[in-house]
A and B are shown apart, each in its own frame.
Chain A
Amino acid sequence: MTEAAATPTQSKDQPIKASELDPKFKYELVKMHGSEKILKCFQCGTCTSDCPVARYSDTYRPRTLIHMAQLGLKDRVLNSDTLWLCAACFTCTDRCPQDVEVASVIRVFRNLAAEKGCFPQVFKDQAASLLESGYAYKIPELRIKKRESQGLPPLPKGNPENVRKTLKGVKFIEKIQKPAGEQQSGQ
């Protein structure tokens, strides 16, 4: 997905250099909405063992991501492709004995990665559709017209102008609205 993620230095099996560590990362996270409780994680592994994605992925491990963040491996966490595999099923959130709200912590990691421009294309498409139509998916004209013959009421307005107005000043939205050349994304 991102160039950074493809370089071998980002792999979790690579030796850790002291210069890579950001000792303040975990304190930043504690202040963010969703990852307030990251320091309470005692690495029991419940999240990983109960995660449906971890069962089928060789690389996605929520416990490891949280551990890496606690250690200060900020860049490795945020550049990690596996971050985007989480299905947001909330099983980990419901079962974590320390009430870490694991799925929200993963979401915070993703938000931070997105701010750096590292995120899968599908989100760019959905955001574009949102700004254009008010809906996350471009609903084909044909579908909208077909509603009448299906006995369904007309689809309510998406009011995209108002969507754009309310999203003014949101960092992520401003970022994707910039022309491609100005983005630092490594898509």
Chain B
Amino acid sequence: MGNKYLIFLGCAIPYRVSSFEISSRKVLAKLGVELVEMPEFNCCGLPLDPVSHETMLILAAKNLALAEQQGLNILTLCPGCAGTLKKVNKILKQDKALKEQINSHLKEAGLEFKGTIETKHLLQLLKEDVGLEKIKASVIKPLTDLKVAEHNGCHILRPKEIIGFDDPEDPQTLKALIEATGATCLDYIDETECCGAPSVGVSDKVALALARDKLNHVKQVDAQALITICPFCHIMYDTNELRIEKMFNETYGIPILHYPQLLGLAMGLTPEELAFNELRVNASKILKQLTQGANKQ
């Protein structure tokens, strides 16, 4: 299947985070990864799992069956979608009775889950299929002098048994990919802590407390930006940073960038091409620093 993937967008990205999609597509094109659009898809199922596991299984299996018809592996930008599609693929392949039960639902739409394809998240694809060397070679404007912190989020790492490509207690992939751009990736306390997004709407107090803690830890090490790879983590920080600043009388001024935005800058793409204008927390300070740095070189 080579470097050709079916792109599975999920709901959150087209709903609110197009900057992630725009920057990912630009960067993947530069790296020679070919994306094929899915003719049809629906929600991966994860949002409904808390209320109905069966609904989640059917929705995920339906998407997998649609992708199987195309004979291509899936690439997702959302770790929630990736984790769900991976998990359902795995359990349905192991549990024949469950597979039959789910297939009896899919049959209503003329579909059948067979278990012939795999799903990867952007991060896993960059690590395993493109590789660090090729990414380093694509960098024409190294982001030297830029010091950032990473936030992996939960679903790209856990549960380990399903995701498995990185160590959830001390993840290395995103760090290595950040350093490939020439930027420094700083360590900080509780790096793998949840962003709190899933608790929004149930308890904003808990959600914002988690986000505030994270921003405090990132600020303590003087990171100039926080790098995410999940639409929900991005929404959580980018949308709430100003709110948390007001609520708790804090100042952060830490822009939240999608990893492909960072990589894109290092590849020489412009902030406009990478949809920096869609960010709520202004990133002009680091962009200015990078242009001045480049002019000096």
Contacts and interface: CB of A to CB of B under 8 A. Distances in A.
Interface of A: 33-34, 52-53, 56-57, 60, 84-91, 93-94, 101, 103, 107-108, 110-111, 114, 119-120, 122-123, 126-127, 130, 134-139, 143-144, 146-147, 150-153, 155-160, 162-163, 165-173
Interface string B50-76: 111111001100100000000000000
B196 to A, nearest CB: 7
Contacts of B52: 111, 114, 170-173
Interface of B: 9, 11-12, 14-16, 18, 21-22, 25, 37-43, 47-55, 58-59, 62, 98, 105-106, 108-109, 111, 154-155, 158-160, 168, 193-194, 196-199, 201-203, 205-206, 209-210, 275
A110 B209 contact: no
A126 B47 contact: yes
A160 B98 CA distance: 24
B22 A93 contact: no
Contacts of A126: 47-48
Nearest to A172: B52
21 contacts: A56-B209, A56-B210, A60-B206, A84-B50, A85-B199, A87-B197, A90-B158, A91-B154, A108-B53, A111-B53, A127-B51, A134-B43, A135-B43, A136-B43, A139-B11, A155-B9, A156-B40, A165-B109, A167-B58, A171-B54, A172-B52
B194 A166 contact: no
For the complex of A and B, 4 pairs with smallest distance between CB atoms: A90-B158, A172-B52, A134-B42, A162-B109
B21 A136 contact: no
A135 B160 contact: no
Nearest to B158: A90
Nearest to A60: B206
Contacts of A171: 52, 54
A165 B58 CA distance: 11
A159 B18 contact: no
B193 A52 contact: yes
Contacts of A119: 50-51
Contacts of A146: 18
Contacts of B105: 166-170
Nearest to B21: A152
B210 A120 contact: no
Given A84-B202, A89-B194, A170 B11 contact: no
Contacts of B206: 53, 56-57, 60, 85
Nearest to A134: B42
Contact of B158 (A91, A136, A158): A91
Nearest to B209: A56
A94 B196 contact: no
B234 to A, nearest CB: 15
Contacts of A158: 40-42
Contacts of B42: 130, 134-135, 158-160, 162-163
Interface-centre pick from A114, A135, A146, A150 (highest chain B CB count, 10 A): A135
A171 B109 CA distance: 19
A172 B15 contact: no
A78 to B, nearest CB: 13
Contact of B108 (A56, A114, A144, A166): A166
B160 A155 contact: no
Contacts of B98: 33
Contact of A34 (B21, B53, B55): B53
Contact of B50 (A33, A52, A89, A107): A107
